[in-house]
Amino acid sequence: MILEEMYTRGGIRTPNASQIQQITAYLSLYGKIEGKNVFYWFQNHKARDRQKLRKLLNHHHHLLNYPDSCPPPVLPQVSHYSSVGFLPQDGVLEDASTQTMSYTWTVDHHLTERCEMDKSIMTRTYGRDWMMMLDVDPTSHCCNNKPLKTLELFPITATGLKDEHIPPTSTNN
Amino acid sequence: MILEEMYTRGGIRTPNASQIQQITAYLSLYGKIEGKNVFYWFQNHKARDRQKLRKLLNHHHHLLNYPDSCPPPVLPQVSHYSSVGFLPQDGVLEDASTQTMSYTWTVDHHLTERCEMDKSIMTRTYGRDWMMMLDVDPTSHCCNNKPLKTLELFPITATGLKDEHIPPTSTNN
DNA sequence: TAGATATGAATGAATG
DNA sequence: CATTCATTCATATCTA
């Protein structure tokens, strides 16, 4: 948590030897620790942080450039469901959203079929980072042949629980 | 990320069966997924969130009750080092010279200076030599012959280093 | 429910 | 800095 603070609030990304020494000295108050630990921590943290960001930007990129050519690899236009009551903790999701959401997804799905260069684009833009590719389910890239039956799945029936093997659903909320 | 959005921005913590179904249906656009996956995701996320918070609060508790009887279990008052130039990415870290935290750092600085035989070199090299410096624990290796004054500032009793042991004692729930 | 075990994710440690 | 590899964690899951 301390390092996290230094990283996030302090903005430290690549501490130099001197900084590492001091940080190490400070942290050693809590237990055995070496400079390399601190070094690796920052290196890993920065890398994974950046990776996360890139992933995000990549998806954002898709949304901006192919808003209706394929389903967003990750984030489904927040504006969509948020304005449709998708996010609200409550049960708005239950009724009202069903229709609207269905609509959105339907659209996405329709357009899905045209997205084939998706991967190539990704590769072209972030070729070196294949790790990002793992985000997309290979079996259903963005153009899987899943029928647009999503809508039909919505008719939610409380009974569906068992079928899904959903563990004890604390019906609270 | 979609789930994260729902959790954070949407405030969804414990989706009910119905919600889970819809979320699952939506996510299924990206690949194979079952309701239980969504269910578990929220369970995990919430649990981890709670745990993180608990830990944080616990530390704060320590800080508030034993401000000078033991080393700060976690965060060394952000406000302090942030206003003292502790965090800044640059090298401001070097000239720590202020209040509370400063003490620690000032002392640390002194200490680090003693074990600085090849520090300057690596600072420039940034190669294998650079890492070598990090391999040693500043408090126990090159400077272990000199009692850490820092410790005196934080009267650490015996192995107070690991008071952090907070096993999954999920007393509640 | 309390163990025992399997497993995905996170993260430390390296390597080139 | 991108990747890889090994552990650790925290469940998910199964069983008595």
A79 has a chain B CB within 8 A of its CB: no
pLDDT digits 0-9 by tens, A61-71? 555 554 443 34
% pLDDT > 90, chain B: 0
Q: How confident is the model at residue B145 (pLDDT cuts 50, 70, 90)?
A: very low
Rounded Cα distance between A78 and A76, Å, is 6
How long is the CA B51 to C1' C13 vector, in angstroms? 26
A44 touches strand C (CB under 7 A): yes
Q: Tell me which of B83 and A121 has the higher pLDDT.
A: A121
Q: Tell me which of B38 and A50 has the higher pLDDT.
A: A50
pLDDT over threshold 80, residue A162: no
pLDDT at position A4: 87
A137 has a chain B CB within 8 A of its CB: yes
% pLDDT > 90, chain A: 10
A140, B62, B80, B86, B87 from B99: Cα distances, Å: 58, 20, 8, 12, 15
Stretch B58-73: mean pLDDT, rounded?
Answer: 42
Query: What end-to-end distance do the CA atoms of chain A give, in Å?
Result: 31
Provide the mean pLDDT of chain A.
Answer: 53
Q: Tell me which of B138 and A106 has the higher pLDDT.
A: B138
pLDDT at position A41: 93
Provide the mean pLDDT of chain B.
Answer: 47
- Return the closest-CA partner of residue A149 out of A109, A119, A116: A109
**Are B78 and A161 inside 8 Å of each other by CB?**
no
Q: Which residues of B touch A144 (CB under 8 A)?
A: 31
A67 has a chain B CB within 8 A of its CB: no
pLDDT over threshold 90, residue A89: no
Torsion sign across C-alpha atoms B73, A42, B152, B96: negative
B92 has a chain A CB within 8 A of its CB: no
Q: Is residue B76 classed exposed, middle or buried when 0-12, 13-18 and 19+ CB atoms within 10 A define those classes?
A: buried
pLDDT at position B18: 67
pLDDT digits 0-9 by tens, A3-53? 988 888 888 999 999 999 999 999 888 888 899 999 999 988 998 888 777
| Residue type for position B80 | H
CA atoms within 13 A on the CB side of B97: 3
Stretch B134-138: mean pLDDT, rounded?
Answer: 58
CA B44 vs. chain centroid, Å, equals 20
Q: Could you write out the DSSP letters of every residue in B31-96?
A: S---HHHHHHHHHHHHHHHHHHHHHHHHHHHHHHH-TTTS--SS--THHHHHHHTSS-SSSGGGG-
pLDDT at position A59: 56
Rounded Cα distance between B21 and A154, Å, is 8
Predicted model pTM: 0.43
Q: Tell me which of A166 and B58 has the higher pLDDT.
A: B58
Mean pLDDT: which of A8-17, A85-94, B67-76 is highest? A8-17
Token pair belonging to A77? 């236009």
pLDDT digits 0-9 by tens, A66-86? 444 334 333 343 333 333 333
Best B18, B68, B87, B115 member to test A by mutation, with max A CBs in 10 Å, is B18
Q: How confident is the model at residue B47 (pLDDT cuts 50, 70, 90)?
A: low
The strand ranges marked E within A91-144 are none
pLDDT at position A47: 86
pLDDT at position A160: 30
